[in-house]
Amino acid sequence: MSWRTLEVLKERNAGLYLGGVTVSAFGDTAMSLAAGIWVKTLTGSDGLAALVGFCLWLPTFAGPLIGTVADRVRRRPLLVAVNLALAVVMTAPIAVHSAADVWLLFAVLTLVGTGMVLTDAAQTALVAAAVPEELRGDFNGMVYTAIESTKLLAPLAGAGLFTAFGGPAVAVLDAVSFVLAALAFRFIRVREARPAARDKRAWTAETAEGARYLWRHPLLRPLVLTGATAMVLSSLSSTATFAMLDGGLHQSPAYAGVLTPVQGLGSVVCGLAAGALMRRMSERAFSAVGLSLFALGVLARATPWLPVVLGGSLAIGLGLPCALIAAMTAVQRETPGELLGRVAATANTLMFAPTGLALLIGTAMVTGLDYRVQLLAAGILGLTWAAVLLLGRAARPTGRDGARPAPAGAREPDTAGSSTTP
């Protein structure tokens, strides 16, 4: 198995991109936790504190529409501009001092969530131009690993900074992270095609073009739906964690602090090995195997034996990222450049938007049923979907020259007028 981690790190563009994404994710994760504490401290309301996560998540539903912006301009300048704009926006919470000011924090977080949807689409499109195709699987795995790693340290940093200096200090930290991300993207050297001249079509028509391309694509559609399935089942099973600790393992809620790092370790290993594994199997097989491993891990957590539950947590961490990494790598390779922002944003919406609904369903289930019911349901559904994916049609037909024809409705990317930007 060939590991290309060092090759990715030596690639200038990949290193800058990875740094920009990591520092931005660190600031956002710290702020998302601190904002909840901040709102709870000012208002005393658990509901308003929970609304913080909703504000960041809500713009995901508009992903296909927001992603259209990423196809109208060059992606690198867009990323620089959006990150600088978010840095300015993030200074507004400095003015939050009382419960009457909380609305400003919600407005800022909604804008940040919108910016995150746009930058996710532009970043995915930029990778296709900035990182060699043979390194993208390894690179996407490393990006996932880096982002997940920030979730282990950033919440502690956010909570500690809030305790010591208050909410405005965490807002400033997040603003600085956006500036650093903008600098990283500024120094990426990439050859981007000038956006093609657009006919006078409605914005919704352009949005539909990206969604239609994804839905009609026989390789991308099942991979993205598998990513969505993995995220929904993950949300469904995660809501049973505290019931499992109490009723199944007879441990305190604090023991979740042991399970989370074990799962995180699995995610780190998966991210580092993803590229090498995808060179030995198709993305479809990689996604199916990963979902199967995740499902087995969920089923293991339905047992009353601590070592098995810990092994299940590791398996969940190893398997869950596979579907997401496979889907994004395929989107970058299979989508024409002029559609990539819209298709990437649509894929992200399909994979991540339903998780909120799954959390609500999981919460209702764990309230009224034995926690093992939802773990068994999530595990069995995961294994069933993996089997369907693995046994389904593996790939679309290729043309006489070996190239894969684009589905109807897709345009060939316009490479005329390309320029190299430092």
Amino acid identity, position 244: M
Mean pLDDT of 169-184: 94
182, 208: one domain:
no
Q: Is the pLDDT of residue 291 over 50?
A: yes
Mean pLDDT of 271-281: 87
Amino acid identity, position 243: A
Alpha-carbon distance values, 18 to 8, 86, 127, 292 (Å): 10, 19, 10, 29
Q: How confident is the model at residue 309 (pLDDT cuts 50, 70, 90)?
A: very high
SS3 call for 190: strand
Q: Which residues contact 298 (CB under 8 A, 6 or more apart)?
A: 233, 237, 312, 316, 375, 378, 379, 382
Question: What is the model's pLDDT at position 402?
Answer: 35
CATH of the domain at 51: 1.20.1250.20
Lowest mean pLDDT among 115-129, 250-264, 361-375: 250-264
- In 279-305, where does DSSP find H-type helix? 283-300
Q: Is residue 418 in a domain?
A: no
Number of domains in the chain: 2
Structure tokens at 409: 């409705």
Q: How do residues 345-384 score in pLDDT, each as one tens digit? A: 999 999 998 887 888 888 788 888 888 999 999 999 999 9
223, 100: one domain:
no
Amino acid identity, position 67: G
Q: How do residues 190-200 score in pLDDT, each as one tens digit? A: 776 666 655 56
**Dist. CA 177–CA 171, nearest whole Å:** 10
Lowest mean pLDDT among 203-217, 301-315, 382-396: 382-396
173, 314: one domain:
no
| Beta carbons of 173 and 33 less than 8 angstroms apart | no
Q: Is residue 170 in a domain?
A: yes
Q: Is residue 73 in a domain?
A: yes
> What does the longest C-alpha to C-alpha distance in the chain come to?
67
Phi, psi of 420 (to 5 degrees): -95, 125
Q: Is the pLDDT of residue 223 over 50?
A: yes
Q: How do residues 36-78 score in pLDDT, each as one tens digit? A: 889 888 988 877 887 888 888 889 888 888 888 888 888 889 9
Lowest mean pLDDT among 3-12, 239-248, 354-363, 410-419: 410-419
Higher pLDDT, 394 or 207: 207
Burial of 383 (0-12, 13-18, 19+ CB in 10 A): middle
Mean pLDDT of 149-160: 82
First to last CA, the chain: 35
**Dist. CA 290–CA 266, nearest whole Å:** 12
Q: Calculate the average pLDDT of the chain.
A: 83
125, 259: one domain:
no
Q: How do residues 27-47 score in pLDDT, each as one tens digit? A: 998 898 888 889 888 988 877
| Beta carbons of 182 and 84 less than 8 angstroms apart | yes
Q: Cα 128 to the chain's mean position, in Å? A: 17
Q: How do residues 319-336 score in pLDDT, each as one tens digit? A: 999 999 999 999 988 988
pTM score over 0.95: no
Question: What is the model's pLDDT at position 412?
Answer: 38
Could you tell me the residue range of the domain that residue 50 belongs to? 1-186
CA dihedral 336, 341, 345, 346 (to 10 degrees): -40
The residue from 122, 154, 186 where one domain ends is 186
Q: Is residue 54 in a domain?
A: yes
Give the residue from 284, 411, 282 showing the smallest Cα distance to 340: 411
Question: What is the model's pLDDT at position 195?
Answer: 64
136, 218: one domain:
no
Q: Is residue 351 in a domain?
A: yes
Q: Is residue 23 in a domain?
A: yes
10, 144: one domain:
yes
Q: Is the pLDDT of residue 240 over 50?
A: yes
Q: Is residue 35 in a domain?
A: yes
Give the residue from 78, 126, 117 showing the smallest Cα distance to 207: 117
14, 130: one domain:
yes
Q: Is residue 168 in a domain?
A: yes
Q: Which residues contact 45 (CB under 8 A, 6 or more apart)?
A: 39
Lowest mean pLDDT among 202-211, 351-360, 378-387, 401-410: 401-410
The residue from 153, 186, 219 where one domain ends is 186
215, 160: one domain:
no
